[in-house]
Amino acid sequence: MAEETIAHPQPLTVLAEDERIFRESVREFADAQVRPLVREMDEHAKIPRALIDQLFDLGVMAIEIPEAYGGTGAAFFHSVLAVEEFSRVDPSVGVLVDVQNTLVVNALLRWGNDDIKRRFLTKLASGTVGAYALSEAGSGSDAFALATRAREDGADYVLTGRKLWITNGNEADIFLVFATIDPGAGYRGITAFVVERGTPGFTVGKKEDKLGIRASSTCELLFEDCRVPRGNVLGEAGKGYKAAIETLNEGRIGIGAQMIGLARGALEHAIRYTKERRQFGKPVAEFQAVQHQLARAAVEVEAATLTVYNAARLRDAGRPFLTEAAICKIYSSEVAERVASLAVNLFGGYGFVKDYPVEKLYRDAKIGQIYEGTSNLQLQTIAKQLLT
């Protein structure tokens, strides 16, 4: 079935005029430029470089980067809107934009000195993709059990180790890499480094063959005596854990945005299809049982949207948002899976084949409960805040 621009339920949350205009511009681009490529990108497990260049031209890869460095100088909430709208069409493109803005740019803005900002934010605003390299084989949920080492050697640090499951690994030329300078110090030895592709001793390894978000690259990174200048330390040596924790809290809001976009896209497809599909002499949408299922899905999508927007608004206001970020991450990912599953059900046999769009969204939804903090970790965060 051909993809096309479709009517969709509007979120009820009131947006400022600039936010509304921004959302509409991203939505129009996603429908016109991304939607026709979704099937091909999923099958070939790749986002075309030409599309990535268009994303830079649109300004969505440098949303919070100040204008002085070539960015748009907008708010974090604009990043959330962009991720949501792209994910409504293709969550793979949504996460590309998400990692660039809520993790990489966000970390450099908060922890980078003037020199690092000048050298790297200008590149990230003008065509360079970034990646965030924290996870390893033995440090997924236990994020700070890092085995990647960084030892001092003159004016450099020498990195040795292996990173896994790094989003944007194939496309990125700038990597934020976390390594320990003192394993005996625990989390207090963790240090963040900015490493550029082409640095001797650094290679991008295997690209994972995934269940969902297949067009988004997920790669291993290999460091073999990789020399990184001392000037590429992000923040202070031994303080990288602070950059990781605070950035991931914001990144979870971005994943929440990806999930509500995915859920909204699945609901749109389901609404359209049930109006078209006829059984027993009338459209499926006229059956009360179907209407109630769609209504329940709409309630859940709206509720999830409010949790994501609330966390993003708190972040922009400089207020605490740790619990709210965990809530929006876990709830939106669960809603995305339920709504995508419902869409498959309502499509019937067609929902199970690749000629129709909802089976892809169902596959894409699963990752929301895994990356940037599993659902169990989000529950632990919420419980800890409740009981403190």
Residue-level pLDDT at 145: 85
327 Rama class: left (phi>0) / alpha (psi -120 to 50) / beta: alpha
Given a cut of 80, whether residue 4 has pLDDT beyond it is no
Spatial contact of 116 and 108, defined as CB atoms under 8 Å apart:
yes
Given a cut of 60, whether residue 1 has pLDDT beyond it is no
Given a cut of 50, whether residue 98 has pLDDT beyond it is yes
Query: Residue 269 CA to chain centroid, in angstroms?
Result: 22
> Helix, strand or coil for residue 253?
helix
Active site residue 372: yes
Residues 124-172: tens digit of each pLDDT: 999 999 999 999 998 877 877 899 999 999 999 999 999 999 999 999 9
Residues 44-94: tens digit of each pLDDT: 999 999 999 999 999 999 999 999 999 999 999 999 999 999 999 999 999
What mean pLDDT do residues 321-330 have?
98
What mean pLDDT do residues 371-380 have?
95
CB atoms within 10 A of CB 299: 11
Given a cut of 80, whether residue 5 has pLDDT beyond it is no
Residues 334-366: tens digit of each pLDDT: 999 999 999 999 999 999 999 999 999 999 999
Whole-prediction pTM value? 0.94
The residue count for the chain: 388
Given a cut of 80, whether residue 95 has pLDDT beyond it is yes
Evaluate whether the domain defined by 131-239 bears CATH number 2.40.110.10.
Answer: yes
Query: In what helix (H) or strand (E) does residue 167 lie, and over which residues does it extend?
Result: strand 156-167
At the fourth CATH level, the homologous superfamily of domain 242-387 is: Butyryl-CoA Dehydrogenase, subunit A, domain 3 (1.20.140.10)
Q: Which of 137, 141, 90 is nearest to 370 (CA)?
A: 141
CA–CA distance from 349 to each of 16, 165, 262, 352 (Å)? Answer: 42, 33, 21, 5
> Helix, strand or coil for residue 354?
coil
List phi, psi (to 5°) of 232: -95, 10
Given a cut of 90, whether residue 3 has pLDDT beyond it is no
Given a cut of 60, whether residue 7 has pLDDT beyond it is no
The whole-angstrom separation of Cα 332 and Cα 328 is 6
Domain ranges across the chain: 17-128, 131-239, 242-387
Residue-level pLDDT at 144: 76
Which residue, chain included where needed, has tokens 């059990």? 145
Residues 213-223: tens digit of each pLDDT: 999 999 999 99
Interstrand relation of 172-180 and 190-196 (parallel, antiparallel or unpaired) = antiparallel
Q: ∠133-107-56 over CA atoms, to 5°?
A: 85
Which residues, 6+ apart, have CB-to-CB distance to 119 below 8 Å? none
Q: Which residue has the higher pLDDT, 9 or 256?
A: 256
DSSP string, 226-238: EEEEGGGEESSTT
CATH class of 17-128: mainly alpha
What mean pLDDT do residues 252-268 have?
98
Alpha helices by DSSP H, listed for the chain, are 17-29, 38-44, 49-58, 76-89, 91-98, 106-111, 114-116, 122-126, 240-276, 288-316, 322-347, 358-365, 375-387
**Catalytic pick from 84, 85, 268, 372?**
372
Residue-level pLDDT at 13: 64
One-letter amino acid at 382 equals: I
Residues 206-257: tens digit of each pLDDT: 999 999 999 999 999 999 999 999 999 999 999 999 999 999 999 999 999 9
CA–CA distance from 365 to each of 30, 155, 312, 361 (Å)? Answer: 19, 45, 21, 6
Give me the chain's average pLDDT, please: 95
What mean pLDDT do residues 8-35 have?
86
Which residue, chain included where needed, has tokens 């991450």? 329
What mean pLDDT do residues 11-37 have?
91
